[in-house]
Structure 1
C-alpha cells in the first residue's frame, strides 16, 4: 500500500453466468485502464457451453509494471450466488464484495466488507436487464478512478453498430453505475488508482492477437486452420488483418488438411502458419514429421488446454510438451518455442518463422489458454528494427551443377528451390530419399539423411550455448527456479518477494525448449544447491526432459487443476526449499 493509503495495485474479479456480459465488462475496464496508461494483466475462465455456467474475468491494474494476475482478490463483483460461492474465499482480508441483492445473499458469517449494488434494478431503469454488466462497468470505473471518458469510448466503440437505442441504453446503465458508486467513494478511496508512472506508447493485445501480429510482421502469407478452443482467436485475428498485407486465410474441414495446405503453400515458397490446440495437434502428428522429412518450413501454434482427450477446453495446462518434442512416427527433428508473456507472443512468433525458414523444418509455438486470453498493454514494437529471415534459395542464374535439393552439407542445409524455375524441379517425399529427392530405402542413405536432418538442429543447439538471454543470475543464490511458458510472471514476482526476505533466487526460463543447449543447462543446474522446476502438468515433463541431459533430480512444483499458479504458491515453495 502507498503512503497515501491507496493499494495502487488492485486485483478485480467479475463473476456471473455465461451470457451475462461478464467478459464484456472486464474487457471494457481493461482497455479503458490501459488507454489511460495504467498497466493491466488479465485472466479469464469461461464455461465450455455457449450460454450458462460460471464465467469469470479477472484484471489486475496498477500505475506501475506488473507481471502476473495477482494472488488474492481486492474486489469481487458477484453477479449471482454462484460467483460468490466460488470466489469469496479468495477475497483478501482488506478486500470488498460488491453484489446484486436480487441474485446473491452472502451468509451472515461473511465478515469482510460488502456493499449491495442493485445491478439488475439499475439496468431495468436504463431500459433493459441485459445492461447490468454496464452498470457494473460504471460502478467499477468510479471506484478505481479510471477516466470516465475512456470507458465511454470503449462502450460506444462496442455498441455503436447495434443501433442508437441499444447504445443509449448501455450508456445510461453505465452512468447509473457511476452515480450509484459516488455515494461510497470516500469509504472506498483505498482502491482509487494513483497517476500512472509513465505514458510511453503502448498497444493493448491478448496473447492470441500478439501471435497473429507477429505472424504478419514475420511475413506470413498463408494461415490455415480449423476452429478449436482456445486457438480460434489467432485465426480470427489473421482473417481480419492478414489480407491487408497480401496474405490469405483459409478455414479447412479439419486439422489434417489445414497442415497439409500449409505444407503445400510452403513448398510453393510462402511463409505459412496453422493454429490449433491439443486434440488438433494430435491429428497433425504424422504431417509434422512429413514436414521434417521433406525439410519444409512451417509454423504450428499449439495453444494448450487442459486434457487429456477433449479435456477442459476453457482451462489451462502445460501438458503437450512431450507431444511436441517427441511425438510422431520415427525420429523427426522439430524446434519448439514457448513465449512467456504477451510481448513474447509477438517476438517469439517472429523468431519461430525465422527459425523455420533458416533451418527448414517445422517450428511449434507452445502457448496456453491463460496466455491466449491474457491481455496486457505492451510497449509498441518497432517493426522497422525487426529482423526477418527468408529461406536459402539456389542461385537460379549461375547453377553450374545438378540441383540437389537434399544435398548433404556441413550444416545440413541445402537451398530450397521455388517451383517455376527450369532445372530446379524436385520431389518433396515423405518416403526416405536420396539427395535428389528420389525414394531410396538403403541403410546407407537412411543413415546419411538422418544425420543430415539432425545436423540442422544440432547446429541451432550449438548457437544457443552462447546465449544467456533467458538466464536471470543472482550472485550468492543457492536456489534456482527453472520454468517455461506462461508461468514466468508469477515466478518473477515470487522471486522479488523472496528477495525482500533476504532469500536470493536465480531463474532460468528458456524460450526455446527444443533443442536445448545441453552443456549450458548442465553448467547452470550444477551451480546451485537446490533446483525447483515449476510446471502446469502432472508428471513434470520439462523436469524429466532436463534429467535426460543432466544427472540431477530437481524439486518439482506442479499444478494441474486448470488454473494458473499464483506468485504466492511459488513464494511459499521457495521459502520451504530455502530453509
Structure 2
C-alpha cells in the first residue's frame, strides 16, 4: 500500500473536468486524506485543453507532485499533453470513443472505457464525467458508498432522479474498469487516512471567509480571473450577516466605493488581479493621502496587459509596492498557505485601521485557485482592532475643526466617523493641514509627509517571515513567497539527502520589508537562492535594496505560466552548490 498518489483528469474546457475533480476530491476529503490540487485551464469560456491535478496523501502536503499515477482522459490531446508525467507503471483511463493510444516511450497501462457510450445509454453524455470518476475511483479500491455520498451532495438540489442516474453512471464506470483490470490495482491502494475532519478550499474562499470573520460587510468588485471567487464567495455569505456585494462597472468604481465605505465606518474591501490593480492606483493614493483604511486583494496572474490570465506568475511585487504616484504609507502582505489566507485577511483589516492606510494582500493564481486541505480554523484567534477610532470627541470651541490629521508622536492621528459630534473636519486629496484644510505651506508639507510615512517605522505584523532554519550556517538559504513555500520544503528533503544543508525563509511581509528579522539569516548564509515566478527577480531586488548581499544572491526564475515543481527547485539548487 502507498501513502500518496497523484491523479489528473483532462479534457476540453466545458466538458465536465471541473465537476469531476470536485466530486472526486470531495469524496477523498470525506475519508480524511490530505489533498493539494492545481487547475490548468484555458482563458476561453468553452474549448481549449484543461486539466485538474490532485495529490492525495496520508500526511500534510503543500506542493504539486512531479509525477502522475493515474490520468483520466476525455480526448487524445489530454494523453499527448500529460502522459510525460506518468510514472513507470502508471495508468490511463480513457474514453474508448476516440480510440486512445499512448505516446511512444510511455510505460503505462491503458484502460479504454466506453465513457461517452455508457453516459449516452443513461440518457445524456453530460454524465460521462461520473462514468470516468467511477472508473478511476474503483481502481483505487476505495469504498463506493463514500463517492456516492459526494455525488448526492453535488446533485441533490436537482432531485432524486438526477442523483440516481449519476450514481448509476458511477457504478457502470466502476464495473466496466474492474472487469477490464481484473479488480482494483494493488499497487495503487492507499493506506487508510487518519479520518480527521479537514477543511478543503481554495485560497480565494479562505480570504473571503477571513474578511467575513474580520467584520467586513461591504465588497464592491469587478470580476476578473483569478480573483472572482472572492466576490462570488462573499455574494453568498455577506447578506446573511447584514452585508452586501456590489458588482461595479469597473475597478475604479470598486476601489473608490471601498474607500468611501471605510471612511463611513464600514469595513470594506475589494479584490482584483494585475490589470484591475493598475486602474486602482490613483484611488489607492487617495486612501494614502486621506489616511483612510482599505484592504485590497491582488491575485497575481501572467502579465503584462491581458497576458496569461489563467496562468501562474508572481510579477506584481514592484507594482504593489511602487505603483502609486507620489509616496504613501502602505502595507503589502503575502500569505503562503490556505490557513494564512484566512488569518492574514483578519490582520489586514486590523492593520489598515491601526495604521490608517491601504493594505494589499498579495497572492498568486496557484494559491488563489488551487484547492487544498487545511486544519480546522481557530476562530478564538480572531481579534478586531479598530486603532485610534474616537467615539467621544471632546467639545470644541466655536468654529474650531477636529484635528483629523493631528501631528502625533507615532504619526497616527485620531480618526472619527461621519456624524460624530465635534468631529467635523475637511477631507481632500490635496495636501492639507491638521484639520484637513488645503495647504501648500512648505513647512506643513514636510511635516505631513514625515507624519504619514513615519506611521510604519515601528510596524508590528504577525510573522513577517516564516523561518525553518535547522542549520547555523547552511549551504543555501532558500527564499520564497506565496504558493512556492511548500514546493521548496519538499525539494529541501532531497537536497538534505544529498548532503546539501538548507534553511528556508518564506517572506510574508513584502512592504515595509522585514529587514531586521531577515538580516541574521542572510548574514550567516553562504549563498542565498531566491525563488520566484517572474522574469526580473523582483523579490531578490527587494532583498538587495533593503539589505544588500548582492554577492550572495542567486535567482531561480520561472515565468512560463506554470508553477514550480519540487524537481525543478531541487535541480536548480543542486547546480548552485
2:513 equivalent to 1:516: yes
Alignment of 1:88-107 (within 5 A): 88-103=83-98, 104-107=100-103
1:406-421 to structure 2, matched below 5 A, reads: 406-421=405-420
1:374 matched residue in structure 2: 370
The number of residues matched between the two structures is 569
- SS for the counterpart of 1:77 is strand
Q: Equivalent of 2:523, from 497, 518, 526?
A: 526
SS of alignment partner, residue 503 of structure 1: coil
Q: Is the 8 A contact 2:463 2:508 kept in 1?
A: no
**1: CA distance, partners of 2:204 / 2:463:** 27
SS at match of 1:182: helix
User: 5+ unaligned residues in a row in structure 1: which ranges?
Assistant: 1-5
Shift of 1:187: 6.2
Q: Mapping of 1:206-225 within 5 angstroms?
A: 206-225=202-221
Query: Which residues of 2 match residues 397-436 of structure 1 at below 5 A?
Result: 398=394, 403-436=402-435
Give CA deviations for 1:81-122 in whole Å, capped at 9, x if unaligned: 111111111212232222223223334654322222221122
Match of 1:45 in 2: 40
Q: CA deviation at 1:311?
A: 1.0
RMSD (Å), alpha carbons: 1.8
Q: Does 1:69 align with 2:64?
A: yes
Where in structure 2 are the equivalents of 1:136-535 lying within 5 Å? 136-183=132-179, 184=181, 186=183, 188-196=185-193, 198-396=194-392, 398=394, 403-460=402-459, 463=460, 470-476=466-472, 477-535=474-532
Asked if structure 2 preserves the Cα contact closer than 8 Å seen for 1:33 and 1:146, the reply is: no
Q: State the 1:513 CA deviation.
A: 0.8
For residues 521 and 271 of structure 1, the distance between their equivalents in structure 2, rounded to whole angstroms, comes to 32
- TM-score w.r.t. length of structure 1: 0.95
Identify the residue that residue 9 of structure 2 maps to in structure 1. 14
Q: Cα distance 1:455–1:147, how it changes in 2: closer, same or farther (>3 A)?
A: farther
What is the match of residue 3 of structure 1? Answer: none
What secondary structure does 2:35 align onto?
strand
SS in 1 for 2:6: strand
* CA distance 1:84–1:48, change in 2 (3 Å): same
* 2:373 alignment partner, SS class: strand
Whole-Å Cα distance in 2 between the matches of residues 246 and 504 of structure 1? Answer: 53
Note if contact 2:83-2:102 (Cα within 8 Å) is conserved in structure 1.
Answer: no
Query: Following TM superposition, by how much is the alpha carbon of 1:507 offset from its aligned partner in structure 2, in angstroms?
Result: 0.6
Partner of 1:128: 124
Q: 2: CA distance between counterparts of 1:211 and 1:362? A: 17
C-alpha separation in 2, matches of 1:200 and 1:335: 37
Q: Secondary structure at the match of 2:229?
A: helix
Is this contact kept in 2: 1:78–1:84, CA < 8 A?
Answer: yes
Higher mean C-alpha deviation, range 181-190 or range 393-402: 393-402
Conserved? CA contact 2:2–2:191, under 8 Å: no
Q: Which moved more, 1:438-447 or 1:218-227?
A: 438-447
Deviations 1:214-271, CA, capped at 9 Å, x for gaps: 0011110111101111111110100100111221211111110011111110010111
Conservation of the 8 A alpha-carbon contact between 2:231 and 2:271: yes
Structure 1's 244 and 7: CA in aligned 2 closer, same or farther, altered over 3 A? same
Q: CA deviation at 1:384?
A: 2.5
1:2-43: CA deviations, max 9, x gaps?
xxxx33211111010111101111111111111111100000
Which deviates further from its counterpart, 512-521 or 288-297?
A: 512-521
Shift of 1:502: 2.9
Q: Using a 3 Å threshold, how does the CA distance of structure 1 residues 23 and 185 change in structure 2: closer, same or farther?
A: farther
Partner SS state of residue 130, structure 1: helix
Deviation at 1:287, TM superposition (A): 0.5
| Range that drifts further, 313-322 or 146-155 | 146-155
Match for 1:552 among 525, 529, 549?
Answer: 549
Give SS of 2:458's match. Answer: helix
8 Å CA contact 2:396, 2:422 repeated in 1:
no
Q: What whole-Å deviation, never above 9, does each CA across 1:289-348 have from its counterpart, x for those lacking one?
A: 110111111100111111110111111100111100000111122100111111111111
Aligned equivalent of 1:59: 54
The worse-fitting range, judged by mean Cα deviation, of 152-161 and 284-293 is 152-161
Deviations 1:463-488 (A, max 9, x none): 46x96761111224221001111111
Distance 1:325 1:252, change over 3 A: same
Partners of 1:187 and 1:168 in 2: CA distance: 24
- After TM superposition, give the deviation of residue 533 of structure 1 in Å: 0.2
- Structure 2, unmatched stretches of 5+, are none
Q: Quick one: distance in 1 between partners of 2:327 and 2:447?
A: 14
Q: Distance in 2 between matches of 1:370 and 1:395?
A: 42
Q: Per-residue displacement from partner, 1:343-362 (whole Å, max 9, x unpaired)?
A: 11111111111111111111
TM-score computed with the length of structure 2 as normaliser: 0.95
